[in-house]
Each structure stands twice: as C-alpha cells, then as structure tokens.
Structure 1
C-alpha cells in the first residue's frame, strides 16, 4: 500500500470519528461500523477491480453513449445546430458550439420517460427491493428506510421518500435522518446520464464510475447518519413495503415521465442561472474587500476533507475548491468545470477521487427542494424534517467524502 493509499485509509477512519463526535460520542454501534466500513470497502473493491464488473461498466458507458446519440437526434430536429446539428458557419473557437440547455439538459427528458417505463415494468422496484434487503440485513434498517435508501441509488431525494410516503410518519428520528442523508449523498439516474456524458472525455467509464459512486454512498450515508443521530433501529415494520403503483399504462408512464423530466430540467436551468449569479455577485463584494473569492475561501475550508480522501497536498486546493463549488452552487457546475478544463489539471487518481466525492445532491438548493418535498409528504413530521435539514447536508457531504476516501484506498497512485 502506498503512502497516499494509507492517507486515504486514515482519512476514512478520521471521517468516521468525526461523525461519531458529531453524534455526541454515543456508545459505539459496532454492527453499524462493521457493516458501514466493511460494506463500502467490499463494494468498492468489487466495483473497481473485478473484471466482469468493469466490463459491465463499459456496457453502461455504451448505453449512455447510445442515449446521448438518440437524444441528439431529437434536439437536432427541434433546435437545429443549437441542439448539436451541423453548423451553418465555420467554428472559430473549439467548444463554442456546445450549448448546455439545448444539448446536455434534454437528456433529462429522455431519462425521465425511460425511468418511468422501467418503474412501471417493475424493473426498478425489483432492483431496489434487492438492495433494500441487503441494507436491512447489514444495518438492521426498517423496511421503509431501507427501501428509500436503496431507491436513492436511482431516484432523487424527493422521489425516493415518495415510495415510502405512508410509512414516513412512523420512522424514528434517526431513520428519518438516514432517509434525508441518503437523498443528498447520491444522484438520480437521469442526472447520472447527464453527468457521465459531460465528463466522459476526462473520466474513463464515466457512467459506470458514477453508478459505483452512488452505490458506495448508500452504505456510507447509513453509517454517517447512524453515527450522527444514534438510535437507528428504533422502528421496525413486519414486512418490506410494496412500491406504490404510479402509472396506468406504459404510455401513461412515458407521458408522466416526460412531464417530470421537463419540470426537473427547467428547475435545473433556473437554479444554475440564479446560483451562478449569486456566487458571481458574492465574489464582486468579497474580492475588493478580502482579495479572495468564494472559491478561494472554499479551497481552504474544504482542504482537510480533500487531504482525508488521500489527495496529495499539491492538488488538495483544487479538489477543495471543487467541493466548495458543489456545496455552494451544485455538483452540475463542479462537473462542468472538470469537463471544460480538461480535468482541472489533476492526476488520474485525484480526478477519480473527486469524481466520486462530487457524486451527490449535496448543495443548499437540493436541501431546500428536499425539505419542501418531504415536508409536504409528511406534514406531521415537518418540524423534525426542518430541524434535521442542516445536519443532513453536513452528513451527506461527509458521506460523499467517505466514498472518495474508499476509492483512494483502493486506487494506487
């Protein structure tokens, strides 16, 4: 094991200890620790190093390429050269023909429809049910909490809790926290496809890597949440809840999926415009007064987390700044910066660690969306949901960094 891998291992233990301290040094839950740390390492080793799993990653990548090509056919028809069609003029600057809204974001529409169809055909519920049973066996989660955490590997931070809406009110405070942390520590399938298409040029097998990140972050989220808010096994259901029927037919699933995707796409567009503008405005105020930008401040604040993941000192400032962009703005902008800068000038190992650490809806805008959505689903627990909100954002950030540290342990320089 190299020095940097040892640094990642010690950082993983340090992040675990920090979560335990934030939970008030409660009696160590040994089952949770063993299942959480062991599950991340075993899952990470399998996903990163088993040949047949790596082959599966390549297949996922080809699937993402196929989706991107199919989507480009639609955007070219509707938007012409803005959507990726042939240019009617000579390109003077490489990359200037890429228009984010017309070329990348429409993938959300296609994935929204496809996800809805897979749900209606019971493919997603079958996969999620299997993951849920693994989480229940390993961590002692209730069926409802386990189902929500498992669903977060593929669904968003509002859609996954929606599957267990009838059981939300009966969850213990700790299990409610687990649901919230898992929602912010993972990404949805439609955004996975978008991010993979964005960073494919700088991260090999990008789609498979992001799927692996979301899978590893599931046990990480349960571990972090159980340490920060102890008492996870307080509620139990006799049986695993059945996912509700959401669509009347395949055509209904397609149409509703398109509508959900459109709402998400417009929401992302609006959030990008507003939050990038707010950051720019903040920099206009800060830089004349302090000589530092928000990104520069983040590079110092988050540097210990970058070091804990096993990033060398020379690259830790860049990784920390990207983590700050993810939390202050969102992970979309962080991945976009990675793609447009050729990988931020990072080594291959540090770039891979950062790819995994960025893979989560860990930002203030997503927190607001989750609080509004879950509060509307379960008004009787609104006070608990709001009170746990800031801690869930912190917990999700630490869970994503744990995932980055696991990759650091398993990846040689």
Structure 2
C-alpha cells in the first residue's frame, strides 16, 4: 500500500507541475528519470543503511559540537537571563546562527567553500541536463542562503532570460541555508534535515525541468562567479558575525509577528465557525499529506502543519509540529522533510528584493512570477516528502 500511495503521489506531483509547464514540448524525460532514481537511492542510503546512519550521525554530531561552542558565547553575554534549566528559544535556537555564519565566512574567505560549490555544481550539471550556472546556484543556495547567493552571480543576473532566472530563484526557495541548519536540528530530528537537504537539491531540478523547461546553448552555458571584494580577515569576520545576527533577529521578529497573527486568526475563526484557521487549512492540505504517505486519520493534522509552513514559515511550523504529540513517528518524519525549505509567501518578497537590489528590472520579473515560484518550490517539498516516506 505504501508503494502504491508513493507512486500515486509522484504522478499527482508530475501532473500538477506538467499542467502549468511553460513549454511541454521541451521537457526532457531522461534526466527526470535519472534524478528520480537518484532521489530514491539517496533516501534509501540515508534512512535505511548503516553508512547513511553513520553519515547523518557524524553530521548531527558536528552541529551538536558547533552549537555547544556557540552556547559558550551566548552564555557569556546572556548568562543569568534564562531561568535555571530553561533557555529561551531566541538564546538557544536562534543566536547560534551567529556562530555558524562566522564559520561560513571563514570557509568563504579561505576559498574552500567557493571551490566545493563550483565543482559540485559542475558535476551536477552532467546529471540534471541543465546549465552550469543553474547547477552552481542550487549548491550555492544550500550553503549561502536564498538572498546572499545572488550576489555571487551578480555579473550574469542582468543578462539572464526569464526562464533561467526562474530556475535560479526556484533553487533558492527550495533549499535552506547552512547557517540555520543547526537551528532546525534543535527542533526536528537531524536525519530528516539532512535527508531533505539532499532530496530538495535534486527535487528542485526535477520540478524546474517540468515546470520551466528550456535548452541552454554552449555559448550561453558559461559560469562566471563574482569574487568577493577583498577584505582583511577581521573585516570579513565582523561582516559575517553581523550578518548572522541580522538573520537571528529577522527570524525572531517574524516568529513574534506570525505566531501572534495566527493565534489571532485562530481565535476569530474559532469564535465564528467553531474551528480554527489552521484546522480549516488542514482539510485543504489533507489530500497532499495523504499522497506524501501520511495515514488518512492523521492527514488533517499534518495538513494544518504544512499549511502553517506556507502561510508563515518553516520555523513556526516546526514549533507547531512539536505540539502535535499524537502523530506517529512515520508521519512526523514525512512532515519534517516537507518543512525543510524556504517555500512560503514571505520568501517571494525576500528573493524578489534580493534580485531587485542587484538589478531592478530583473527584480520586477521575479515579482511577476512569484506565485509560480512558490508553487514549484512547494511541489519540490511534496516530492521530497513522498520519496522519504518510502523508507520511513
């Protein structure tokens, strides 16, 4: 039954994506089959083998150590504010982002990360049948973040046609930045975070290849990555520390606003209809939860969490998931994989703003296809959850 639901789920995702395709005649099916098979193999390796368990364990241990080091800095500045044995969400989950951002800055400065991103992207371009720029951008988005990644391809932003620009933006929305992975791991199981990171990378290529197919000529397929302006080591350090702090503050502000707003809307709906806004959305998203592999009796509850992620953000949804103690382990795993991406309404503004800051005309183009961007990124999350559900 599980496999039949998964096959049905993949077909539904493909049909929904195919229905809004820009150019169905240009869809290349061979790379799609290869990437779907790769997704399944990678999900099996990560969730069902000792090697995958070892890799995820090592990744989780690495971030656990990094977060403990981050905690030293947080405790030095804020020690005594929290109650004994209790740490506020901002201090324990968000402020460590500052330290992770600092490490990313050091790896960028020493040219280690740019090399990894560039050559991994070149290898991926052989598999996905897309351009080198698109493949580079997908890997870079998963490390640098959905707005920062566009700075590295600033030279080419203004010259890109709408189709290629869409793919770059879709990659940015379908992944998550490495600086906040540690925060996710404190709210959901690290193995689901790692699995989602890998599956979303290929899922982004799969959905973009159906929704937005095009051919890139050899003359157009040139990868020019902008080198960062030369800074001293301590200038760079200060910049990345402040960038990390800005991310932490921004996420905290959004959480305050969205959690309060959802509570207000839930109160209004409960008073008028006798059912909360999230429960209502749960019924709408229940069919998607079911095709992802969630049992029907839990699909409305799971659907409400999925909807919360889309209308608010993944942090709010992950906090909400922690409150649903009645869900089975398999459902929690499937929903967790779905939640690990930037596919929400606020990301449309973030990405359009980032591109507009570099090239105003192209920023307006991104704003126009914003809803289709969210649609595609959501399909990526659904597809990743379906594949992961096969092995949970």
TM over 0.5: yes
Contact 1:141–1:236 (Cα < 8 Å) also in 2: no
Q: Secondary structure at the match of 1:198?
A: coil
Q: 1:20 to 1:140 in 2, by over 3 A?
A: same
Q: CA deviation at 1:171?
A: 2.4
Q: Does the CA-based 8 Å contact 1:154-1:188 persist in structure 2?
A: yes
- 1:228 offset after TM fit, Å? 1.7
Alignment of 1:314-393 (within 5 A): 314-339=297-322, 341=323, 344-393=325-374
**What residue is the counterpart of 2:33 in the other structure?**
34
Secondary structure class of the residue paired with 1:410:
coil
Unaligned runs of 5+ in 1: 92-96
Number of residue pairs matched by the alignment: 391
How far has the Cα of 1:236 moved from its partner?
5.4
Question: What SS does the aligned partner of 1:82 have?
Answer: coil
1:227-376 mapped onto 2 (5 Å cutoff): 227-231=210-214, 233=216, 237-246=220-229, 248-339=231-322, 341=323, 344-376=325-357
**Alignment partners' CA distance in 2, 1:119 and 1:352:** 33
Contact 1:367 1:389 in 2 (8 A): yes
Whether the aligned pair in 1 keeps the contact of 2:141 and 2:172 (CA below 8 Å) is: yes
**Secondary structure, aligned partner of 2:144:** coil
TM-score in terms of structure 2 length: 0.93
Aligned to 1:71: 70
1:236–1:272: structure 2 CA closer, same or farther, 3 Å change rule?
farther
1:232 Cα deviation (Å)? 5.1
In the alignment, structure 2 segments of 5+ residues that lack a partner are none
**Equivalent-residue separation in structure 2 for 1:59 and 1:232 (angstroms):** 39
Cα distance in structure 1, aligned partners of 2:218 and 2:276: 46
The 1:247/1:285 distance shift into structure 2, 3 A limit, reads farther
Return the match for 1:21 from 19, 44, 47. Answer: 19
Shift in alpha-carbon separation, 1:119–1:49, aligned structure 2, 3 A: farther
| 1:101 aligned to which of 90, 95, 115 | 90
Query: Structure 1: how far apart are the matches of 2:347 and 2:299?
Result: 25
Partner residue of 1:397 out of 353, 375, 378: 378
1:359 and 1:234, CA in 2 relative to 1: closer, same or farther beyond 3 A?
farther
Matches within 5 A, 1:167-246: 167-199=156-188, 203=189, 206=190, 208-231=191-214, 233=216, 237-246=220-229
Distance 2:221 2:352 in 1: 28
CA distance in 2, matches of 1:360, 1:64: 19
Query: Residue 209 and residue 124 in structure 1: after superposition, are their counterparts in 2 closer, same or farther (change >3 A)?
Result: farther
Structure 1 position 35, deviation (Å): 3.6
| Cα 1:234–1:356 shift into 2, 3 Å | farther
- Spell out, residue by residue over 1:94-117, the C-alpha distance to the aligned partner (whole angstroms, 9 max, x if none): xxx231112211111001111111
Q: Distance in 2 between matches of 1:164 and 1:37?
A: 28
- C-alpha contact (below 8 Å) 1:5/1:410 kept by paired residues: no
Matched, 1:141 2:130: yes
- The two structures have a TM-score, normalised by structure 1, of 0.88
**Contact (CA 8 Å) 2:138, 2:172: kept in 1 or not?**
yes
Query: 1:152: how far off?
Result: 1.6
- 1:218 positional shift: 1.4
Deviation at 1:234, TM superposition (A): 6.3
Conservation of the 8 A alpha-carbon contact between 1:145 and 1:179: yes
- Give how far 1:165 is off: 1.3
The alpha-carbon distance between structure 1 residues 236 and 215, as it changes in their structure 2 partners (threshold 3 A), is: farther
Q: 1:124 to 1:24 in 2, by over 3 A?
A: closer
Task: Please list, as runs of the form range in 1=range in 2, the aligned pairs for 1:79-158 lying within 5 A after superposition.
Answer: 79-82=78-81, 87=84, 97-158=86-147
Q: Provide the rounded CA distance (Å) in 2 between the counterparts of 1:297 and 1:98.
A: 33
Query: Is residue 156–residue 188 contact of structure 1 (8 Å, CA) maintained in 2?
Result: yes
Q: CA deviation at 1:172?
A: 2.9
Q: For residues 122 and 221 of structure 2, what CA distance do their matches in structure 1 show?
A: 13
Partner of 2:52: 53
Check the 8 A contact 1:363/1:393 in 2, yes or no: yes
Q: How many angstroms apart in 2 are the aligned matches of 1:215 and 1:152?
A: 12
Tell me the residue number matched to 1:94: none
**CA contact under 8 A between 2:23 and 2:213: conserved in structure 1?**
no
**What is the alpha-carbon distance in structure 1 between the residues aligned to residue 171 and residue 325 of structure 2?**
28
- Which residue does the alignment assign to 1:10? 8
8 Å Cα contact 1:15-1:308 kept in structure 2:
no
Q: Please tell me whether the aligned partners of residues 296 and 321 of structure 1 are also in contact (alpha carbons under 8 angstroms).
A: yes
What RMSD, in angstroms, separates the aligned Cα atoms of the two structures? Answer: 2.1
